Structure 1
Protein backbone atom coordinates (compact mmCIF):
# COMPACT_ATOMS: atom_id res chain seq x y z
CA UNK A 1 0.00 0.00 0.00
CA UNK A 2 2.89 2.37 0.52
CA UNK A 3 4.31 1.86 -2.98
CA UNK A 4 4.12 4.84 -5.30
CA UNK A 5 2.04 4.07 -8.38
CA UNK A 6 2.64 6.03 -11.55
CA UNK A 7 1.06 4.95 -14.83
CA UNK A 8 2.82 7.54 -16.98
CA UNK A 9 -0.54 8.80 -18.28
CA UNK A 10 -2.95 11.35 -16.93
CA UNK A 11 -6.19 9.49 -17.62
CA UNK A 12 -8.31 12.64 -17.52
CA UNK A 13 -6.28 13.99 -20.45
CA UNK A 14 -7.39 11.38 -23.03
CA UNK A 15 -9.51 13.91 -24.98
CA UNK A 16 -6.77 16.54 -24.63
CA UNK A 17 -4.18 14.18 -26.14
CA UNK A 18 -6.54 13.45 -29.04
CA UNK A 19 -7.20 17.16 -29.58
CA UNK A 20 -3.52 18.14 -29.55
CA UNK A 21 -2.67 15.25 -31.89
CA UNK A 22 -5.32 16.44 -34.37
CA UNK A 23 -4.11 20.05 -34.17
CA UNK A 24 -0.48 18.96 -34.72
CA UNK A 25 -1.02 16.84 -37.88
CA UNK A 26 1.65 17.96 -40.35
CA UNK A 27 2.84 20.65 -37.92
CA UNK A 28 5.45 21.26 -35.24
CA UNK A 29 4.55 20.61 -31.60
CA UNK A 30 6.21 21.99 -28.47
CA UNK A 31 5.26 20.05 -25.33
CA UNK A 32 6.25 21.91 -22.14
CA UNK A 33 6.39 20.11 -18.77
CA UNK A 34 5.99 16.98 -20.92
CA UNK A 35 6.04 14.30 -18.18
CA UNK A 36 6.30 11.02 -20.17
CA UNK A 37 5.61 12.81 -23.49
CA UNK A 38 2.38 10.88 -24.13
CA UNK A 39 0.96 13.95 -25.89
CA UNK A 40 3.99 14.11 -28.19
CA UNK A 41 3.92 10.37 -28.90
CA UNK A 42 0.25 10.49 -29.86
CA UNK A 43 0.84 13.58 -32.01
CA UNK A 44 3.81 11.90 -33.73
CA UNK A 45 1.74 8.79 -34.41
CA UNK A 46 -0.98 11.00 -35.94
CA UNK A 47 1.47 12.72 -38.28
CA UNK A 48 3.05 15.66 -36.46
CA UNK A 49 5.95 16.93 -38.57
CA UNK A 50 8.12 17.36 -35.47
CA UNK A 51 7.88 17.39 -31.69
CA UNK A 52 10.03 18.88 -28.95
CA UNK A 53 9.20 17.63 -25.46
CA UNK A 54 10.75 19.38 -22.47
CA UNK A 55 10.87 18.37 -18.81
CA UNK A 56 13.36 18.66 -15.94
CA UNK A 57 13.07 15.06 -14.79
CA UNK A 58 15.57 12.52 -16.11
CA UNK A 59 13.23 9.78 -14.91
CA UNK A 60 10.32 11.03 -16.99
CA UNK A 61 12.46 11.84 -20.02
CA UNK A 62 13.88 8.29 -19.93
CA UNK A 63 10.29 7.03 -19.80
CA UNK A 64 9.41 9.37 -22.69
CA UNK A 65 12.28 7.95 -24.75
CA UNK A 66 11.00 4.43 -24.09
CA UNK A 67 7.53 5.57 -25.24
CA UNK A 68 8.98 6.87 -28.52
CA UNK A 69 11.07 3.70 -28.96
CA UNK A 70 8.12 1.39 -28.27
CA UNK A 71 6.16 3.22 -30.95
CA UNK A 72 9.09 3.06 -33.40
CA UNK A 73 9.25 6.84 -33.73
CA UNK A 74 12.45 8.33 -35.09
CA UNK A 75 14.67 10.63 -33.03
CA UNK A 76 15.25 12.59 -36.24
CA UNK A 77 12.04 14.63 -35.93
CA UNK A 78 11.04 13.99 -32.34
CA UNK A 79 13.31 15.38 -29.67
CA UNK A 80 13.45 15.31 -25.89
CA UNK A 81 15.17 18.01 -23.87
CA UNK A 82 15.96 18.12 -20.17
CA UNK A 83 15.54 21.76 -19.17
CA UNK A 84 13.76 24.12 -16.82
CA UNK A 85 10.82 25.19 -19.02
CA UNK A 86 10.71 28.63 -17.40
CA UNK A 87 14.35 29.36 -18.28
CA UNK A 88 14.14 27.67 -21.67
CA UNK A 89 11.20 29.84 -22.73
CA UNK A 90 13.30 32.94 -22.10
CA UNK A 91 16.14 31.78 -24.35
CA UNK A 92 14.72 29.73 -27.25
CA UNK A 93 13.98 31.58 -30.50
CA UNK A 94 12.21 28.84 -32.50
CA UNK A 95 8.55 29.04 -33.47
CA UNK A 96 6.06 26.18 -33.11
CA UNK A 97 2.66 25.63 -34.73
CA UNK A 98 1.11 23.99 -31.67
CA UNK A 99 2.19 24.36 -28.06
CA UNK A 100 0.93 22.18 -25.23
CA UNK A 101 1.56 23.84 -21.86
CA UNK A 102 0.64 21.67 -18.86
CA UNK A 103 2.59 22.93 -15.84
CA UNK A 104 2.33 21.46 -12.37
CA UNK A 105 0.03 23.24 -9.95
CA UNK A 106 3.02 23.92 -7.70
CA UNK A 107 6.73 23.12 -7.87
CA UNK A 108 9.61 24.01 -5.61
CA UNK A 109 12.08 21.67 -7.29
CA UNK A 110 15.72 22.17 -6.36
CA UNK A 111 16.45 22.08 -10.09
CA UNK A 112 14.57 25.37 -10.57
CA UNK A 113 15.73 28.86 -9.65
CA UNK A 114 12.30 29.83 -8.32
CA UNK A 115 9.05 28.36 -7.07
CA UNK A 116 6.29 27.76 -9.63
CA UNK A 117 2.69 28.45 -8.62
CA UNK A 118 0.34 27.98 -11.58
CA UNK A 119 -2.25 30.49 -10.36
CA UNK A 120 0.33 33.18 -9.70
CA UNK A 121 2.63 32.46 -12.67
CA UNK A 122 0.35 31.31 -15.50
CA UNK A 123 0.15 34.76 -17.14
CA UNK A 124 3.92 34.96 -17.63
CA UNK A 125 4.08 31.30 -18.69
CA UNK A 126 1.40 31.86 -21.31
CA UNK A 127 2.94 35.12 -22.59
CA UNK A 128 6.39 33.52 -22.86
CA UNK A 129 4.88 30.50 -24.63
CA UNK A 130 2.90 32.70 -27.03
CA UNK A 131 6.19 34.35 -28.04
CA UNK A 132 7.21 30.92 -29.41
CA UNK A 133 3.94 30.39 -31.29
CA UNK A 134 4.02 30.56 -35.08
CA UNK A 135 1.56 32.77 -36.91
CA UNK A 136 -1.89 31.13 -36.87
CA UNK A 137 -0.65 28.73 -34.19
CA UNK A 138 -2.56 27.49 -31.18
CA UNK A 139 -1.58 27.07 -27.53
CA UNK A 140 -3.41 24.51 -25.42
CA UNK A 141 -2.96 25.43 -21.76
CA UNK A 142 -3.95 22.89 -19.13
CA UNK A 143 -3.67 22.73 -15.36
CA UNK A 144 -5.14 20.83 -12.43
CA UNK A 145 -5.67 23.66 -9.94
CA UNK A 146 -9.33 23.31 -8.97
CA UNK A 147 -9.77 27.01 -8.13
CA UNK A 148 -7.94 28.27 -11.22
CA UNK A 149 -8.93 31.65 -12.67
CA UNK A 150 -7.42 32.94 -15.93
CA UNK A 151 -5.86 36.34 -15.33
CA UNK A 152 -7.47 39.36 -16.96
CA UNK A 153 -4.32 40.67 -18.67
CA UNK A 154 -3.88 37.37 -20.50
CA UNK A 155 -7.53 37.44 -21.58
CA UNK A 156 -7.11 40.99 -22.90
CA UNK A 157 -3.89 40.13 -24.78
CA UNK A 158 -5.03 36.89 -26.42
CA UNK A 159 -8.15 35.04 -27.51
CA UNK A 160 -8.64 32.67 -24.58
CA UNK A 161 -11.38 30.07 -24.87
CA UNK A 162 -12.15 27.82 -21.91
CA UNK A 163 -12.64 24.43 -23.58
CA UNK A 164 -12.71 22.37 -20.39
CA UNK A 165 -16.24 20.99 -20.96
CA UNK A 166 -15.16 19.56 -24.34
CA UNK A 167 -12.19 17.80 -22.70
CA UNK A 168 -14.08 15.75 -20.11
CA UNK A 169 -14.65 12.08 -20.93
CA UNK A 170 -17.78 10.61 -19.38
CA UNK A 171 -15.80 8.81 -16.68
CA UNK A 172 -14.66 12.23 -15.38
CA UNK A 173 -17.90 14.18 -15.86
CA UNK A 174 -18.91 13.82 -12.19
CA UNK A 175 -15.93 16.00 -11.27
CA UNK A 176 -15.74 18.76 -13.91
CA UNK A 177 -12.95 20.49 -11.99
CA UNK A 178 -10.49 17.63 -12.56
CA UNK A 179 -8.60 19.94 -14.92
CA UNK A 180 -8.85 23.27 -16.75
CA UNK A 181 -8.09 23.50 -20.46
CA UNK A 182 -7.84 26.68 -22.50
CA UNK A 183 -7.35 27.18 -26.23
CA UNK A 184 -5.31 30.35 -26.73
CA UNK A 185 -4.56 32.12 -29.99
CA UNK A 186 -3.35 35.54 -31.03
CA UNK A 187 -6.06 38.14 -31.43
CA UNK A 188 -7.10 38.71 -35.00
CA UNK A 189 -6.00 42.08 -36.35
CA UNK A 190 -9.43 42.34 -37.99
CA UNK A 191 -11.95 43.47 -35.36
Structure 2
Protein backbone atom coordinates (compact mmCIF):
# COMPACT_ATOMS: atom_id res chain seq x y z
CA UNK A 1 0.00 0.00 0.00
CA UNK A 2 1.18 3.57 -0.60
CA UNK A 3 2.86 5.20 2.36
CA UNK A 4 4.36 8.63 2.86
CA UNK A 5 6.31 7.29 5.85
CA UNK A 6 7.85 4.49 3.74
CA UNK A 7 8.78 7.10 1.13
CA UNK A 8 10.63 9.15 3.75
CA UNK A 9 12.44 6.08 5.11
CA UNK A 10 13.51 4.99 1.61
CA UNK A 11 14.70 8.44 0.57
CA UNK A 12 16.67 8.89 3.79
CA UNK A 13 18.21 5.40 3.61
CA UNK A 14 19.52 6.01 0.09
CA UNK A 15 20.39 9.69 0.51
CA UNK A 16 17.83 10.86 -2.03
CA UNK A 17 16.41 14.38 -2.03
CA UNK A 18 12.65 14.59 -1.89
CA UNK A 19 12.55 16.40 -5.25
CA UNK A 20 15.03 14.01 -6.92
CA UNK A 21 13.42 12.01 -9.74
CA UNK A 22 13.97 8.35 -8.88
CA UNK A 23 13.32 5.41 -11.20
CA UNK A 24 13.57 1.86 -9.86
CA UNK A 25 13.45 -1.63 -11.24
CA UNK A 26 13.70 -5.06 -9.67
CA UNK A 27 15.12 -8.28 -11.06
CA UNK A 28 18.07 -10.48 -11.85
CA UNK A 29 21.03 -9.06 -13.72
CA UNK A 30 20.13 -10.80 -16.97
CA UNK A 31 19.42 -9.51 -20.45
CA UNK A 32 15.90 -10.95 -20.50
CA UNK A 33 14.98 -8.62 -17.62
CA UNK A 34 16.02 -5.59 -19.68
CA UNK A 35 18.99 -4.53 -17.61
CA UNK A 36 20.96 -3.41 -20.67
CA UNK A 37 18.12 -1.10 -21.70
CA UNK A 38 17.83 0.18 -18.12
CA UNK A 39 21.54 1.08 -18.14
CA UNK A 40 21.32 2.66 -21.60
CA UNK A 41 18.30 4.68 -20.47
CA UNK A 42 20.21 5.95 -17.43
CA UNK A 43 23.05 7.14 -19.69
CA UNK A 44 20.54 9.11 -21.75
CA UNK A 45 19.01 10.70 -18.62
CA UNK A 46 21.87 11.82 -16.35
CA UNK A 47 19.62 14.03 -14.17
CA UNK A 48 17.47 11.07 -13.15
CA UNK A 49 18.53 8.59 -10.44
CA UNK A 50 18.15 4.92 -11.39
CA UNK A 51 18.20 2.08 -8.85
CA UNK A 52 18.05 -1.61 -9.75
CA UNK A 53 17.22 -3.92 -6.86
CA UNK A 54 18.09 -7.60 -6.94
CA UNK A 55 20.98 -9.99 -6.93
CA UNK A 56 22.35 -12.57 -9.31
CA UNK A 57 25.21 -14.95 -8.74
CA UNK A 58 28.23 -13.52 -10.59
CA UNK A 59 28.71 -16.86 -12.35
CA UNK A 60 25.32 -16.40 -14.05
CA UNK A 61 25.90 -12.84 -15.29
CA UNK A 62 26.98 -12.69 -18.93
CA UNK A 63 30.13 -10.88 -19.96
CA UNK A 64 28.07 -8.25 -21.79
CA UNK A 65 25.95 -7.48 -18.70
CA UNK A 66 29.01 -7.41 -16.42
CA UNK A 67 30.72 -4.95 -18.74
CA UNK A 68 27.62 -2.74 -18.99
CA UNK A 69 27.30 -2.72 -15.19
CA UNK A 70 30.97 -1.76 -14.80
CA UNK A 71 30.55 1.03 -17.36
CA UNK A 72 27.32 2.33 -15.84
CA UNK A 73 26.74 6.04 -15.57
CA UNK A 74 27.09 7.80 -12.21
CA UNK A 75 23.31 8.11 -11.81
CA UNK A 76 22.84 4.31 -11.49
CA UNK A 77 22.97 2.33 -8.26
CA UNK A 78 22.76 -1.39 -7.58
CA UNK A 79 21.69 -1.72 -3.93
CA UNK A 80 21.47 -5.50 -4.26
CA UNK A 81 18.92 -7.77 -2.65
CA UNK A 82 16.72 -6.17 0.00
CA UNK A 83 14.05 -7.72 2.22
CA UNK A 84 10.34 -7.42 1.39
CA UNK A 85 9.71 -4.52 3.77
CA UNK A 86 12.62 -2.54 2.33
CA UNK A 87 11.38 -3.32 -1.18
CA UNK A 88 7.95 -1.99 -0.21
CA UNK A 89 9.67 1.19 0.96
CA UNK A 90 11.48 1.40 -2.39
CA UNK A 91 8.21 1.13 -4.33
CA UNK A 92 6.66 3.83 -2.14
CA UNK A 93 9.75 6.03 -2.34
CA UNK A 94 10.32 5.85 -6.08
CA UNK A 95 8.72 8.21 -8.57
CA UNK A 96 8.47 5.57 -11.30
CA UNK A 97 8.80 1.81 -11.58
CA UNK A 98 10.29 0.98 -14.98
CA UNK A 99 10.26 -2.68 -15.98
CA UNK A 100 11.99 -3.17 -19.34
CA UNK A 101 11.78 -6.98 -19.24
CA UNK A 102 11.61 -8.66 -22.65
CA UNK A 103 9.79 -11.75 -21.36
CA UNK A 104 7.84 -12.62 -18.21
CA UNK A 105 5.59 -15.35 -16.90
CA UNK A 106 3.44 -12.81 -15.02
CA UNK A 107 5.56 -10.07 -13.53
CA UNK A 108 5.03 -10.29 -9.78
CA UNK A 109 7.17 -7.19 -9.24
CA UNK A 110 4.77 -5.28 -11.51
CA UNK A 111 1.89 -6.26 -9.21
CA UNK A 112 3.94 -5.22 -6.17
CA UNK A 113 4.65 -1.84 -7.76
CA UNK A 114 1.02 -1.33 -8.76
CA UNK A 115 -0.15 -2.13 -5.24
CA UNK A 116 2.22 0.55 -3.89
CA UNK A 117 0.71 3.23 -6.15
CA UNK A 118 3.93 4.00 -7.96
CA UNK A 119 3.44 4.84 -11.66
CA UNK A 120 4.46 1.83 -13.76
CA UNK A 121 6.08 1.71 -17.18
CA UNK A 122 6.47 -1.72 -18.79
CA UNK A 123 7.67 -3.04 -22.09
CA UNK A 124 4.65 -3.97 -24.21
CA UNK A 125 5.00 -7.77 -24.20
CA UNK A 126 2.31 -10.46 -24.63
CA UNK A 127 2.07 -11.47 -20.95
CA UNK A 128 0.45 -8.12 -20.12
CA UNK A 129 -2.11 -8.18 -22.97
CA UNK A 130 -5.15 -9.31 -21.02
CA UNK A 131 -4.70 -7.37 -17.79
CA UNK A 132 -2.63 -4.24 -18.26
CA UNK A 133 -4.00 -1.50 -20.48
CA UNK A 134 -1.77 1.20 -21.90
CA UNK A 135 -2.60 4.67 -20.59
CA UNK A 136 -5.33 3.23 -18.35
CA UNK A 137 -3.45 1.44 -15.54
CA UNK A 138 0.17 1.48 -16.78
CA UNK A 139 2.25 2.94 -19.58
CA UNK A 140 3.35 0.37 -22.16
CA UNK A 141 6.26 1.10 -24.47
CA UNK A 142 8.34 -0.73 -27.05
CA UNK A 143 11.63 1.09 -27.46
CA UNK A 144 14.30 2.80 -25.42
CA UNK A 145 13.14 6.10 -26.91
CA UNK A 146 9.59 5.36 -25.70
CA UNK A 147 10.81 4.65 -22.16
CA UNK A 148 12.76 7.91 -22.20
CA UNK A 149 9.76 9.83 -23.54
CA UNK A 150 7.43 8.56 -20.79
CA UNK A 151 9.97 9.36 -18.04
CA UNK A 152 10.47 12.84 -19.50
CA UNK A 153 6.73 13.47 -19.74
CA UNK A 154 6.27 12.22 -16.18
CA UNK A 155 9.00 14.60 -14.96
CA UNK A 156 7.23 17.46 -16.76
CA UNK A 157 3.95 16.55 -15.04
CA UNK A 158 2.00 16.12 -18.28
CA UNK A 159 0.93 12.48 -17.88
CA UNK A 160 -2.37 11.45 -16.29
CA UNK A 161 -2.11 9.73 -12.89
CA UNK A 162 -2.89 6.04 -13.42
CA UNK A 163 -1.94 4.84 -9.96
CA UNK A 164 -5.47 4.28 -8.62
CA UNK A 165 -6.39 2.18 -11.66
CA UNK A 166 -3.10 0.32 -11.24
CA UNK A 167 -3.85 -0.41 -7.57
CA UNK A 168 -7.24 -1.75 -8.63
CA UNK A 169 -5.53 -4.22 -10.99
CA UNK A 170 -3.22 -5.36 -8.19
CA UNK A 171 -6.17 -5.85 -5.84
CA UNK A 172 -8.03 -7.90 -8.46
CA UNK A 173 -5.01 -10.20 -8.71
CA UNK A 174 -4.33 -10.41 -4.97
CA UNK A 175 -4.29 -13.77 -3.21
CA UNK A 176 -7.57 -13.11 -1.34
CA UNK A 177 -9.31 -12.08 -4.58
CA UNK A 178 -8.06 -15.19 -6.38
CA UNK A 179 -9.12 -17.37 -3.43
CA UNK A 180 -12.62 -15.90 -3.60
CA UNK A 181 -12.82 -16.67 -7.33
CA UNK A 182 -11.61 -20.23 -6.72
CA UNK A 183 -14.27 -20.81 -4.06
CA UNK A 184 -16.90 -19.42 -6.42
CA UNK A 185 -15.77 -21.83 -9.16
CA UNK A 186 -15.71 -24.79 -6.76
CA UNK A 187 -19.29 -23.99 -5.76
CA UNK A 188 -20.34 -23.51 -9.37
CA UNK A 189 -19.03 -26.97 -10.29
CA UNK A 190 -20.34 -28.64 -7.16
CA UNK A 191 -16.95 -29.39 -5.64
CA UNK A 192 -18.02 -27.58 -2.45
CA UNK A 193 -21.31 -26.23 -1.20
Kindly indicate which of the two structures has a greater share of residues assigned to strand. 1
The normalised TM-score by structure 1 is 0.44
Q: Choose between structure 1 and 2 for higher RCO, CA contacts under 8 A separated by at least 6 residues.
A: 2
Kindly indicate which of the two structures has a greater share of residues assigned to helix. 2
